A and B are shown apart, each in its own frame.
Chain A
Amino acid sequence: MIDHSHDPSMERELDGNALAGMLETLFGSDMTAVPGRCAHCSTVNMVGAMRAYTGGPGAVLRCPACDGVVLRVVERVDATYVDVRGAAYLRFERR
């Protein structure tokens, strides 16, 4: 197992799977297998494959191709804010 605990930026880098519970609560169904198109570079990745940063005041999902911010979630006492400016789309398949 690789130890990179000396690097504080790596320490907090996870992926969209780490936000799965929070996102499912917000969107009403699993989001990790939902493809999203990055508004910055147009690459399509499933939410589970995006980089997640959870160390700040909110949670941030970044595009694994260009590192652009795709989605931000900030939870406050009275409400949750979801900023999706970095997503050209999220694709929900009909079941």
Chain B
Amino acid sequence: MASPIAWRIATVGTIRDETPTVRSFTLGLPDWPGHRPGQHVDLRLTAEDGYSVERSYSIASEPERRGEIDLTVERIEDGEVSAFLHDVVEPGDRLEVRGPIGGYFVWEAPLGGPLLLVAGGSGVVPLMAILRHRRRTGSHVPTRLLSSSRHAEEIIYRDELDALAAAGDGLEVIHTLTRSQPTGWAGYARRIDDRMLAEVLEPLGVSARVYICGPTALVEVAANAMVRLGLPPDRVRTERFGPTGT
């Protein structure tokens, strides 16, 4: 059987630092069939002795960009693949990827909203693809992003999120900082909990579509809270990743 998601060769383009431990990589893929916001790719590294290792990474870029995708990768301590991407890979290098993959954690503009996006750390990456797609399609769907980071300097896409929120097209970005807060911090300063989720959801109402991505424990808290707040389970989509960076 021919696999619908064949491995293909991507050429690394620009590499950008997002935070001290998070980098974005543009991958040139001339024959890329396009993706849906929220989908991911599998990335495979193979050593000369044949040892190979695969990891899944969410696509950060919007499908309206053709012939290339962005991956945003957090460097995980002892992470075989993320350490290689951060420490070894340079523009012009070639990487094996397959995709786009997934159809469950996906939002496209015609689905509508209102939209509540909940991110823990680098869980913001697939949600960023959704926000970039929302912007590019001129969608005015009322949308709120609740993003949890440990420290202010670890907020991924901070400037771009500020710019998107300033566009006045119905997007609000709400941050919580769980470990340390800069002087004068006006946002939340604790882990995501039921009360915070109720407050953030309130202006959108229980007809919202909800996408939650982050570490397993955060996803459990947020998804359970949504069901308790009266959202139908089939409108709450979740994606968990372990600290191993999958």
Contact = CB atoms under 8 A, between A and B. Distances in A.
B201 to A, nearest CB: 20
Give the 8 A-B residue pairs with the shortest CB-CB distance, closest first: A48-B104, A32-B104, A1-B121, A33-B103, A30-B103, A21-B42, A2-B217, A20-B101
User: Which among B42, B240, B241, B244 has the greatest number of chain A C-beta atoms within 10 A?
Assistant: B240
Given A17-B239, A20-B56, A28-B1, A4 B102 contact: no
Contacts of A1: 120-121, 148-150, 178, 214-215, 218
Nearest to A52: B240
Nearest to B6: A25
B3 A33 contact: no
A47 B104 CA distance: 8
B220 to A, nearest CB: 10
Interface of B: 1, 3-5, 40, 42, 54, 56, 98-99, 101-106, 120-121, 148-150, 178, 191, 214-218, 237-244, 246
B242 to A, nearest CB: 5
Contact of A2 (B1, B103, B218): B218
Nearest to A32: B104
Interface string A1-21: 111110000111111111011
Contacts of A67: none
Contact of B101 (A11, A21, A49): A21
Contact of A10 (B56, B106, B121, B217): B217
Nearest to A25: B3
A46 interface: yes
Interface of A: 1-5, 10-18, 20-21, 24-25, 28-30, 32-33, 46-49, 54
Contact of B240 (A14, A28, A33): A14
A32 B56 CA distance: 14
Nearest to B121: A1
A17 B42 contact: no
Given A17-B239, A20-B56, A21-B42, A48 B102 contact: yes
A11 B244 contact: yes
Interface-centre pick from B42, B102, B120, B121 (highest chain A CB count, 10 A): B102
A42 B243 CA distance: 31
Given A24-B4, A25-B5, A3 B243 contact: yes
A13 B242 contact: yes
Given A13-B216, A33-B106, 8 more contacts: A1-B148, A1-B149, A4-B243, A10-B242, A11-B244, A21-B98, A33-B104, A46-B104
Contacts of A47: 104
Nearest to A12: B242
